[in-house]
Amino acid sequence: MSATKSFVTSVTVPKLSDPTLFRQEAFVNNEWISKTETFGVEDPATGKEIGRVPDMDAKETRQAIEVANGAFKTWSKTTGKQRHDLLKKWYDAIMANQEDLATILTWENGKTLAEARGEIAYGASFYEWFAEEAVRMYGTTIPSPMPNQRYLTIKQPVGPVGIILPFNFPTAMLTRKVGAALAAGCTVVIKPGAEVPYSALALCELAKRVGIPAGVVNVVTSLEHVADVGKELCTNPDVKKISFTGSTAVGKLLMSQSSGTMKKISMELGGNAPFIVFDDADLDAAVEGALASKFRGTGQTCVCANRIYVQSGVYDEFAKKLAAKVADFKVGHGFDANTTHGPLINSRAVEKVQRHLDDAVSKGAKVVAGGKALGGNFFEPTVVTGMTNDMAIADEETFGPIAGLFSFDTEEEIIRRANDTPFGLAAYFYSRDVGRVWRVSEQLESGMVGANSGIISSCYAPFGGVKESGLGREGSLHGIDDYVHIKYINMGGL
Ligand SMILES: NC(=O)c1ccc[n+]([C@@H]2O[C@H](COP(=O)([O-])OP(=O)(O)OC[C@H]3O[C@@H](n4cnc5c(N)ncnc54)[C@H](O)[C@@H]3O)[C@@H](O)[C@H]2O)c1
Ligand SMILES: O=CCCC(=O)O
């Protein structure tokens, strides 16, 4: 239970039209696996237990890997068209059950039902996208310099993939990886975030219904044994790739554990996104962009603005407009239709937000909207002015609803300050000067740039970071590359 009593004490959970989507077992070889050792999953808004799932260990993970390895032998031989058809059916099943899946997502993660519906559609879009990529896994022919030889390449699936997921997008982070893996011909063993296993399990129920063959998709739920489960996935030689989304600290550990078997690696890690507002920006658009980028998921997305830099000429006006909008937000349970922002995931997240706020205020920052913990896992969306580089928010990802506003004077200065971080996931800026738009886009050290845009995520576009924010790209025409090897064939003796 949460340390502090929540100000939301009770709520009516909407009834699922199809209650069989709510599963409380792990999923291996298309079978539901129970275990006497279980862990509880809480509604982060009330602290009440939603249910319990098996606490799987290294041995059970090994069994799931064996199953995935067996299934790989046949799944990898299917045609792109067969994989297309199954992914498309899975996409259709998700969209047909959007409301139930959104209800499960809100219940375990806390985001509002509107956001959860959006995540289900966003998550499903990766299956539609990768269904269409499965039939376009083209190789190449290479003009040969040798008269009696022909050169060509084909793409082949890497093998069974170990997937470890965060709590903040229980559906979309899964589908962004699983869509690419299945399209390429790989099988998967997934460890969902311990706070949010039910979305992953509901997707498995749909996978089984639409005919994804046994062993292609497997889910092991784990809490107490998570380090052992992770180690098994990273060291087992039958797992050929690790795909992780989560914090940079855990990503580095998994990468080092995977080195012994030289696995292919995808890492979608933490960020510290700068959001820059230049004097020449459309200020209202910049305010809307900052609200969307900073407060999506109550500040718990890896691409959330973390450091908001505003040029001195528009600083006061921007701060006033942003604070007025933030003061209108309604914090509450995600199932309440009036709620604009749900709770944080747990008490540790609240403590981090409080620590960042206290640190800023103790060094001279001023709260101009919000600023209070509301009990349980709730924290008011907050705007703080007078931020300086010695404050924790300048260096650390808050992963919560504090918009800290820093002031700057010149373009050269702000590029240097924006890039002065080991992270490089997303970066945003607002300007109406077309020359500046090019210059700044090119100079920001990040995998993704929002130039006059606060929401950048899409299945059509490559998602990923540079520096310590990760390796690889998800979604887009590049997403499947992380799950294939390129094989060169030299045909001689012509
Ligand atoms: N770049 C991206 O695409 C992206 C997307 C979402 C979240 N994130 C990042 O994720 C973080 C928040 O998510 P989180 O709190 O769930 O991250 P986390 O790193 O604490 O946990 C992520 C997953 O790793 C598991 N895990 C923890 N310790 C492990 C170990 N020793 N071995 C194996 N697995 C282990 C957790 O159970 C969870 O499933 C933030 O830093 C955020 O920026 C990045
Ligand atoms: O939290 C990070 C991923 C969110 C997204 O895909 O936009």
The top-level CATH class assigned to 19-269+470-488 is alpha beta
Catalytic residue among 268, 397, 468, 474: 268
Does 274-451 match 19-269+470-488 at the fold level? no
Ligand 2, atom 7: nearest CA belongs to which residue? 457
Q: Can you tell me the mean pLDDT for 99-123? A: 98
- In terms of C-beta density within 10 A (0-12 exposed, 13-18 middle, 19 or more buried), how is residue 263 classed? buried
Query: Mean pLDDT score of the chain, rounded to an integer?
Result: 97
pLDDT tens figures, 353-412? 999 999 999 999 999 999 999 999 999 999 999 999 999 999 999 999 999 999 999 999
Is the pLDDT assigned to residue 2 strictly greater than 90? no
Ligand 1 pocket test, pick from 253, 269, 398 with the greatest ligand atom count within 8 Å of Cβ, gives 269
ipTM comes to 0.96
Position 226 confidence tier, pLDDT thresholds 50, 70, 90: very high
Is the pLDDT assigned to residue 82 strictly greater than 50? yes
Core vs surface per residue 46-73: b (16+ CB within 10 A) or e: bbbebeebbbbbbebbbbbbbbbbbbbe
d(CA 136, CA 149): 26
- For the chain, domain boundaries: 19-269+470-488, 274-451
pLDDT of amino acid 11: 87
Is the pLDDT assigned to residue 489 strictly greater than 50? yes
pLDDT tens figures, 5-45? 888 888 899 999 999 999 999 999 999 999 999 999 999 99
268 part of the active site:
yes
Q: What is the DSSP letter of 341?
A: B
- Ligand 2 atom with the shortest distance to the CA of 457: 7
Position 1 confidence tier, pLDDT thresholds 50, 70, 90: very low
pLDDT of amino acid 3: 52
User: What percent of the chain has pLDDT above 90?
Assistant: 98
Position 485 confidence tier, pLDDT thresholds 50, 70, 90: very high
Q: Can you tell me the mean pLDDT for 45-50? A: 96
Choices 3.40.50.2000, 3.40.309.10, 3.40.50.720, 2.60.40.1180: CATH for 274-451? 3.40.309.10
CA angle 260, 241, 247 (to 5 degrees): 85
d(CA 379, CA 398): 13
Quick check: CB of 170 below 6 Å from ligand 1?
no
Is the pLDDT assigned to residue 466 strictly greater than 90? yes
Ligand 1, atom 33: nearest CA belongs to which residue? 230
Ligand 2 pocket test, pick from 120, 293, 302 with the greatest ligand atom count within 8 Å of Cβ, gives 302
Ligand 2, atom 4: nearest CA belongs to which residue? 301
pLDDT tens figures, 227-240? 999 999 999 999 99
d(CA 283, CA 318): 7
pLDDT of amino acid 32: 98
pLDDT of amino acid 9: 81
d(CA 240, CA 242): 7
User: What percent of the chain has pLDDT above 70?
Assistant: 99
pLDDT tens figures, 286-302? 999 999 999 999 999 99
Ligand 1, atom 39: nearest CA belongs to which residue? 193
DSSP 3-state of 443: helix
